[in-house]
Structure 1
Amino acid sequence: MKKTVRNIYLGLILFLMYAPIVTLIVLSFNASKSRAKWGGFTLKWYASLFQDKAIMTALYNTLIIALLSAVLATVVGTAASIGINAMKGRSKTIMMGITNIPILNSEIVTGISLMLLFIAFRVTLGFSTILLAHITFCIPYVILSVMPKLKQTSKSTYEAAQDLGAGPVSAFFKVVFPDILPGIVSGFLMAFTMSLDDFIITHFTKGPGVDTLSTKIYAEVRKGIRPEMYALSTLLFVSVLVLMILVNTSPKEPKDRKTVSKRKSLQRGLRLAIPLLLVAVLAGGGAFYYFAGAKDAGSEKLIVYNWGDYVDPKTIELFEEETGISVTYEEYETNEIMYPKILSGAIAYDVVCPSDYMIQRMIENDLLAKLNLDNIPNIKNMDSIYMEQSRSFDPDNAYSVPYCVGTVGILYNKTMVHEPVDSWDILWDSKYADSILMQDSVRDAFAVALKRRGYSLNSSKVDQLIQAKDDLIAQKPLVQAYVVDQVRDKMIGNEAALGVIYSGEAGYTKRENPNLEYVIPKEGSNVWIDSWVIPKNAKNKENAEKFINFMCRPDIALMNFEYLTYATPNKAARALIKDEETRNSKILFPNAEDLTNCETFQFLGDDVDSYYNELWNKVKSN
């Protein structure tokens, strides 16, 4: 009985540990991009993975940074350990205490501190700052590994070697070094692992165009993971699994001397192959960076800062080919992550693509440069409806050019909802308890509650906001989940009857599940507009305006629309859409009358934003 219970317990633990990994592996072979729908077996995501320059570059960056930082941290950490070990009394105690602080300290404190240090000394954030940060982060772990071995060494043996004629350096390498080598190796491996696994410090110290796997995966999670990442994770898991099996498999020792000799030769070969492989990675990657740098040297440059996966990569390549301008493309996950970077001035981005309310905030804080519209003649292709909507956050249309637009509405399943859906009220109907999905966003959630009562979604009136808060609390027992991208997969998989969703996502979900329908409620909703802007500290303003003009070209706007599925405000591009149903879709391209009661979000000030967040916390914690 005891053995059975033990086996069940062990099985449960293994299931909880490996079920997510098995799910991930299965999804890597799913032909459908949706996690909720099996589209058949495919290997296309693996093929696409190795053709994805961004992912491959992130993989290389991860390996090279981990290897370089581990080697340098091991050298510095070992030297520091020897110095600390030579100290006596209080000095040694103090130094060990200082060494342990970074280990005990929160990583986010270390990351922010290093970022501020680099900014203070006007060091441009990039590959070098990540490397320096990782070395700094890893050194204490090396010291922690080497110090115990140094304490075990006999000082008299070292002195005896010197008495026999060995110099200090020779005595160290012949007597001390072999004794502490296990600690050095352990420190190197720990530093390599810590660097390889790090996200937080990398996130705060990286610059444009530099990503590691951790930051790349984080960006993917924020916007919805692409199947290529499942394939990459599967390959990494399998690689680690194979290495673990090889390391932990101990075959029986053969009696034949010739076989023993062959096995030892093989082991020596494997030991030699690992450093040679690392050298090959270094050399190959170094050559790649050298020739890539030589190719771009002297060419005009442009740094673009945009939402993750928010432009067709082919359009960037076309822009580079046609203009000769080299583009460094950097991604962010939210407006709130983007804004502090622009505010700090740590990186001079040339083109950014914020949302409506954030553009207003940036204008008010004098962070944007006025556009020279003579350099952007293709702005004539913009739909006048959206140019007029843009005036709510850019009164003279002087700082921004619309890129993607959409609405927020209700997505419902026609097989589960048999009544007309035309009002936000249905999200408070108890018959749909545990079948309603709400956006996990303070402004989007409050917009629903405010519009339902006929108020502005930009309301700053205390009584209106309290009513909205009370309504959201009353609705909470009916809500299955507060989600962001997951609403798409849950609705496709028939896991909920109603969900608040962005129109661009709604178009995709309807293609995957014909039973889904989207509506803008009669009380009105949010019209969101993401637009191209140029920061005031941009170093390549004319190139930035060339880029914006290029993105406004009808054929390029069409490429981005087909890649993103989010609606384009470009009328000329819309006319080029071949599929008539898509071209006339009310979901993607609502008429002016459909937007009568719709508003764009506005920046309400830091105090009002704080009050919104305070009320939202009460909703979530109630």
Structure 2
Amino acid sequence: MRRHRSYLNLGMGACLSAWIAAAAADSPSVHVYNWYDYIGPTTLKDFKRDTGIMPIYDTFDSAEILESKLLTGGSGYDVVVASNFSLPTLIKAGVLEPLDPAKLPNLKHIDPELLAKLASNDPGNRYAVPYMWGTNGIGYNVDKVRAALGEQAPVDSWDLLFKEENLARLSQCGVALLDSPSEILPIVLQYLGLPPNSNNPDDYQKAEALLLKLRPHIAYFNSSKFITDLSNGDICVAVGWAGGMLDAKANAVQAGNGVRIEYSLPKEGAPLWFDTLVLLKQAPHPAQGLAFIDYLMRPEVIAPITDYLRYPNGNRSATPLVSAETRNNPAVYPSAETMARLFTLEPLPKKTERIRTRVWSKVKSGQ
């Protein structure tokens, strides 16, 4: 999953790089690999201040880059932020070191319900702890959707998009989907009453048939453009990550352009994803790696990261420390009833992945 914000915090990145270069000499260190702009503005400095360990910090912008680097071996990293659907591949390849709970005293703060969901990708919760998590759902322009479909527009249902009569009307104001078969096709399968992580080729033919029927009404498939377009009013509906939709909403408010954006998790169910902290088996500094993981599980450390990123963390004890605006927003922290309807994504066998890729290519081309 791509976890970027809708703007690039270049100033913070430049200052951070200069600080790391100046402070690295003669310090015990930990080498960290994380998604771009996916940590608090002062978290790394605070870690150095509080522990005396110097974080050497690199970033990536796709799960494919991460997996390729780790599976090749010899990355030199200690701690990596890996998405939940990458975990089975990394575990099977022997890339990850099991975590020792005795060396992670702050593990007690992690929400056991989230750990239970994560166990579908990390059986027994042996290798990973939640860092941030989130959902994929529908971001929509309140006024344009009402103008197209009326006051009773089914914004709480995938019917908003997957019923052709609705999508045809919404196409007049613009609809965008993530360019991600691994995230969109499970949603379509779930909507059709099929297993979202299906290995049955016939199920993908059914998903393909529905999407090809809808394709003429979809403006584009893109995993970043929708954020700006939604906030500017250039499209009226998008399927994407909760954090991206909240960025679009915040940008529209800041611009004062009158665009009202809301985010919905459809009642039929939606994907739940995790970005997790893992320790590499070949970590050159395993003790410092565990110290870094444990530090990020401190409630007072992770709460401000959530406020900055607009993604919920996996730390139950941190929730009271998160700003009321963030923790009371159901788009960030879904209700227990909503959580029960969410499903995790799983890696598929290569044969099924090839089927899914072919389906996606046909859908995007409309042929």
TM-score w.r.t. structure 1 length? 0.53
Q: Is the 8 A contact 2:312 2:332 kept in 1?
A: yes
Match of 1:549 in 2: 294
- What is the aligned counterpart of 1:342 among 47, 54, 70? 70
Q: How many angstroms does 1:51 deviate by? A: 8.2
Residues 156-180 of structure 1: CA distance to partner in whole angstroms, max 9, x if unpaired? xxxxxxxxxxxxxxxxxxxxxxxxx
Pick from 126, 149, 154: which aligns with 1:420? 154
Structure number with larger C-alpha Rg = 1
Counting matched residue pairs gives 344
Output one character per residue of 1:107-143: Cα deviation in whole Å (capped at 9) or x when no partner.
xxxxxxxxxxxxxxxxxxxxxxxxxxxxxxxxxxxxx
Superposition map of 1:291-306 within 5 A: 292=22, 296-306=24-34
CA offset digits 1:405-428 (Å, max 9, x no partner): 111111111101221312212213
Q: Within 2, Cα distance between the matches of 1:386 and 1:297?
A: 39
Q: Is the 8 A contact 2:138 2:238 kept in 1?
A: yes
CA separation of 1:55/1:478 partners in 2, compared to 1, >3 Å: closer, same or farther? farther
User: Sequence identity of aligned pairs in percent?
Assistant: 30
- Paired residues for 1:149-228 under 5 Å: none
Structure 2 counterpart of 1:589? 333
Whole-Å separation in 2 of the counterparts to 1:470 and 1:54: 49
Residue in 1 that maps onto 2:184: 445
The letter of the residue matching 1:423 is S
Match of 1:536 in 2: 281
2:6–2:248 contact (8 Å) kept in structure 1? no
Contact 1:49 1:55 in 2 (8 A): no
Specify the SS of the correspondent of 2:143.
coil
- Note closer, same or farther for the CA distance 1:408–1:326 as it changes in structure 2 (3 Å cut): same
- Contact 2:221/2:364, CA 8 A, preserved across alignment: no
Q: Describe the shift of the 1:338–1:50 C-alpha distance in structure 2 as closer, same or farther (beyond 3 A).
A: closer
1:604 shift after superposition: 1.3
Task: Answer yes or no: is 1:522 the counterpart of 2:267.
Answer: yes
Correspondence list, 1:88-103, <5 A: none
The equivalent of 2:256 in structure 1 is none
Structure 1 residues 309-388: aligned runs within 5 Å:
309-388=37-116
Which amino acid letter does the alignment assign opposite residue 227 of structure 2? R
Distance 2:272 2:111 in 1: 14
Deviation of residue 539 (structure 1)?
1.4
Matched, 1:565 2:316: no
Would you tell me which structure has more strand in proportion to its own residues?
2
What's the CA shift string for 1:211-246, capped at 9, x where partnerless?
A: xxxxxxxxxxxxxxxxxxxxxxxxxxxxxxxxxxxx
Partner of 1:586, secondary structure, is coil
Cα distance in structure 1, aligned partners of 2:90 and 2:230: 36
CA RMSD of aligned residues (A): 2.2
User: Which residue identity does 2:307 align to in structure 1?
Assistant: E
Deviation at residue 449 of structure 1 after TM alignment: 1.4
The structure carrying a bigger helix percent of its residues is 1
1:439–1:445 CA contact under 8 A, matched in 2: yes
1:619 aligns with 2:353: no
CA distance in 2 between partners of 1:56 and 1:615 (Å): 46
Greater RCO, CA 8 A, separation 6+? 2
What letter matches 1:445 in structure 2?
I
1:544, 1:502 → 2: CA distance? 29
Distance change (3 Å), C-alpha of 1:573 and 1:370: same
Structure 1 residues 542 and 569: CA distance shift in structure 2, 3 A: same
Q: Distance in 2 between matches of 1:613 and 1:34?
A: 27
What residue is the counterpart of 1:53 in the other structure?
A: 15
2:290 aligned counterpart, secondary structure? helix
Q: 1:615 to 1:547 in 2, by over 3 A?
A: same
CA–CA distance in structure 2, aligned partners of residues 324 and 528 of structure 1: 33
Distance 1:397 1:301 in 2: 26
Determine the C-alpha separation between the residues in 1 that align with 2:143 and 2:112: 38
Once residues 536 and 297 of structure 1 are traced to their aligned partners in structure 2, the CA distance between those partners, rounded to angstroms, is 25
Q: Distance in 2 between matches of 1:345 and 1:56?
A: 28
The one-letter code matched in structure 2 to 1:547 is F
Change (3 A) 1:537 1:50: closer
> Cα distance, 1:509 vs. partner?
2.6
